Amino acid sequence: MDYESANVSERRMLPPRIAVSSVAFALEPHGEISGAPDAGLSGAGASMTDAAVTETVTLWIPLVRRNREPFAGTWALPGGPLEWDEAPLDTARRTLADAIGASPSETVLDPANSANSANPANSANPANSANPANSANPANSRSPANQAGPAYLEQLYAFGAPERSASDQRLVTIAYWALIESSASGSTETQNGTRDNTQPENVAWFSADSLPPLAFDHADIVAYALWRLRNKTAYSSVAYRFLGDSFTLAELRAVHEAILGTRTDPANFRRQALASGNLVPTGEVERGTRYRPAKMYRFHEHPASDGMGFSPEP
Amino acid sequence: MDYESANVSERRMLPPRIAVSSVAFALEPHGEISGAPDAGLSGAGASMTDAAVTETVTLWIPLVRRNREPFAGTWALPGGPLEWDEAPLDTARRTLADAIGASPSETVLDPANSANSANPANSANPANSANPANSANPANSRSPANQAGPAYLEQLYAFGAPERSASDQRLVTIAYWALIESSASGSTETQNGTRDNTQPENVAWFSADSLPPLAFDHADIVAYALWRLRNKTAYSSVAYRFLGDSFTLAELRAVHEAILGTRTDPANFRRQALASGNLVPTGEVERGTRYRPAKMYRFHEHPASDGMGFSPEP
DNA sequence: GCAAAAGTGTTCCTGTTACACCCATGG
DNA sequence: CCATGGGTGTAACAGGAACACTTTTGC
C-alpha cells in the first residue's frame, strides 16, 4: 500500500479525474461461480478449480484485473471514468454491466425518488420504523426478461484524498455498492450455476472473505461496503434483492444469515418479516421439496414503511 | 429551477469541476444570529431586523450569496473548488471556516478512523446498539481555545448529474454536513449571542425552515442533510455536538427536541441518555439557576457502543 | 409412520411509555 | 413556604428471544 509520490509539478497542472467504482455483491454457494482464467492469487485468492468446497453460501465480489498503470496487474473494483454526459449512477450501472456481462436493466438507487416528501414533521415516532436511507423504486416491478443487472445500486462514498492515486493525475472516485440477484433464485433465467458467460476474460469473482490485494484504496471501499450491506440487512430490508420475484421465508432467512453470519430462529424471523408489512403472499407454494412446501412471498414496500423520499440523483 | 442547457460542444471538451459544499447547522434561538446586510429575501427569508420573535430554538444554516454566474445573486451553500492537493474533507473545513469566520479546528468525521476494526464477526447482535455510521473521534477531547470550527463534519453525498450546472463546465459536488457548536453553550468563548464577526459580508444565516431560493440543486442537498441530521439524532448520538464540553441533561434534551420537533418525557430521556453509557458526570453542577441546579455531563464514547470503525478519508 | 421442515402458540424478559411522586434551590 | 425544574419510582405495555408444539409433505 505504499504509493510512490507523483510528480508534483505535473500533478498540479492536471485536472482531477473522476471515476466511478462499484462493489457488487452476489450470494452464491462456494464453487458455483465461473472464475477468471487464473483467479486464486497470492495467498487469499478463491481458486475455482476445486469444486464445491463447502456448501456454505457466501458473498462474492467481481473484480477486474487492471491492465494499465498505476497498479497494472492487480485486481480492482469494476468501474471507469465518468463520461461527460453521464450521471455517476449510470456510469456505475454501465461499467458494472460491462464487467459482469449484464444488460443495464433495473435500477434501484439512492435516497431515491420523490423530492417533495422530504418534508419535516414526518420524523415523529422513529422508534420502530427501520432506519436511514433506503426507499422504493417508483417504477419497481422488476422487469422479468433481462440478464440481471444489479437488483440494487446505491452510492457509497466519494473518495477524494489527494494521495490515493500514485499517478500524475489526481483521482476522485465515487463508489457505489450493488446487489446482484442470485443465479439460483426463482427467476426464469439461466440456472446453469454459472454467471452469464458474456463477462470479459479479465474479470473474476472472489469470496468477500478472502480478497486478493487490491489496487488503490479499494480494499477500504470493499470493507465499507460490507459494513453498509450488513447494516442495511440488519436494520432495513435489502436482503430480498438477492432473490427473485418470489421466495420463501426460509430463503429470505438464509440470505440474512449468510450476510450477517448469524443464526436466527425460523419462527421469530417469520413473524418479524411478516410484521414488516412488506411481504405479500403470492398464493403459490414451493414445489419439488421433500417436505412440506413453503408459501411464496413477493416483496412490496409497505406505504410509509420508512421513506425518507428524496432523490439526489434523478 | 430551469437550467438552460449549456453549449454541448464546449461542455464536452471541458473537464468536470469538482466542488465541495457544506450544510452547516447551528442551533440558536430566533433572532440571535448576526444577519447579513440584507438577508430576508423573496418571501421566505429570515429577516433579522425584528428581534426575538419567539424564543423557540431552531436550526440555522449559513448561506453565501453568489457573485458569479451561474446563479449570480442567489444564495448558495458555502463551499468552493477542490484544490489540487486538498482532501475534500479539508476543503469543506476550509470553505466553511471562510464563510462563517472560524478557524479550522476540531474535526469529526465520517465513517471515521481505525480502518482495522472493520472486520466482520462484530455484526452479531445489532438489535440494541444504535445504528449505521457514526464513530468516535480518536483524537477527541475538543481543543478548548479556538473559534469553534465545526463540531462535526461528515460527508453527505456526491452530486454529479450532468444537468445540475447550467454553465459550460460540468460540476460535480461533494456535499458535507456539519454541526456548529451553539454560541450559547458552556464553553469559554464569545457569549455575545452573535456569531463571530469575522464572517464576510455576503454570508447570512437562515432558519432551516424558511430558506430563500437556492442555487443549483442546493435545496435538495439541504433537505437531504436535514433528513440525515434527524435520523442521526434519533438513532445515534450527534446532538451533543451542538453543546459545549459539558452540559445538563435538560440542555441535551432541548437539542433533541429542537432537531426532531418533538417533546420527550424528561424522566425517560434521562434514563435512556444515561443508559447509553456515553455520558460521564463531570461532578460539576449548573450554577445561577433559579431552581435546583442540574448535574453536568460530558460526552465520552462508550467503548463498543457502535463503531463501524473505518476511515475512508484519512 | 417417519423424517424434516413449515408454521403456530406461549412464556419470559427487556426496553419504552406514561405518570405519580420526592428533592433541591432561589426568592 | 412556594414555585419550579431536577431527579426517582413504578405500573402498563410492546416487541423480541427461546422453545414447545402442531401441520404438512415425500418417501
pLDDT in tens, chain B (314 residues): 444 444 555 556 678 899 999 999 999 886 555 444 443 333 333 333 333 233 578 999 999 999 988 899 999 999 999 998 899 999 999 999 999 876 544 444 454 333 333 332 232 222 223 333 333 222 222 222 234 578 899 999 999 999 887 777 889 999 999 999 876 654 433 333 345 556 677 999 999 989 999 999 999 999 999 999 999 999 999 999 999 999 999 999 999 999 999 999 999 999 999 999 999 999 999 988 899 999 999 999 876 655 555 556 55
| Strand segments (E) across A87-235 | 152-159, 171-179, 203-207
CA dihedral A293, A298, A303, A309 (to 10 degrees): 140
Chain C footprint positions (protein CB, under 7 Å): 3-9, 15-20, 23-27
CB-CB under 8 Å, B261 with A121: yes
Which residue of B lies nearest to A90 if distances are taken between CA atoms? B161
**pLDDT of the residue at A108:** 46
Run of H or E residues at B221: helix B218-235
Does residue A121 register a pLDDT over 50? no
| Strand segments (E) across chain A | 17-29, 57-65, 75-76, 79-81, 152-159, 171-179, 203-207, 246-247, 279-285, 295-299
**pLDDT of the residue at B246:** 94
CA atoms of A231 and A237, how far apart (whole Å): 10
**pLDDT of the residue at A32:** 53
Q: Give the dihedral sign, CA B122/B126/B130/B134.
A: positive
Residue predicted with more confidence, A188 or A310: A310
Specify whether the CB–CB gap between B88 and B153 falls below 8 A: no
**pLDDT of the residue at B149:** 77
Nearby residues of A267 by Cβ (< 8 Å), 6 or more positions away: none
CA atoms of A138 and A126, how far apart (whole Å): 23
Does residue A195 register a pLDDT over 80? no
Residue A5 with chain B: CB contacts under 8 Å: none
Mean pLDDT score of chain A, rounded to an integer? 75
Percent of chain A with pLDDT over 90: 51
Residue predicted with more confidence, A226 or B45: A226
Does residue A37 register a pLDDT over 70? no
**pLDDT of the residue at A157:** 97
Residue A270 CA, nucleotide D19 C1', distance (Å): 15
Which residue of B lies nearest to A209 if distances are taken between CA atoms? B120
- Which region among A129-143, A170-184, B177-191 has the lowest average model confidence (pLDDT)? A129-143
Q: 3-state DSSP call for residue A56? A: coil
Which residue of A lies nearest to B228 if distances are taken between CA atoms? A132
- Work out the average pLDDT over A246-272: 96
Cis peptide leading into B70, omega within 30 of 0? yes
Closest CA to A56 of A299, A197, A263, A266: A263
In tens, the pLDDT along A267-304 reads 999 999 999 999 999 999 998 889 999 999 999 987 66
The DSSP-derived string for A62-127 is: EEEE--SSSSTTSEE-SEEEPPTT--HHHHHHHHHHHHHT--------SS-S-GGG--SS--S-TT
CB-nearest partner of A158 from B88, B123, B224: B88
| DSSP 8-state class, residue A35 | -
Residues with CB under 7 A from strand C: A 125, 127, 248-250, 266-268, 270, 285, 290-295; B 128, 265, 267-268, 271-272, 275, 289-293
CB-CB under 8 Å, A131 with B231: yes
- Which region among A39-43, A103-107, A276-280, B174-178 has the lowest average model confidence (pLDDT)? A39-43
CA atoms of B52 and B70, how far apart (whole Å): 35
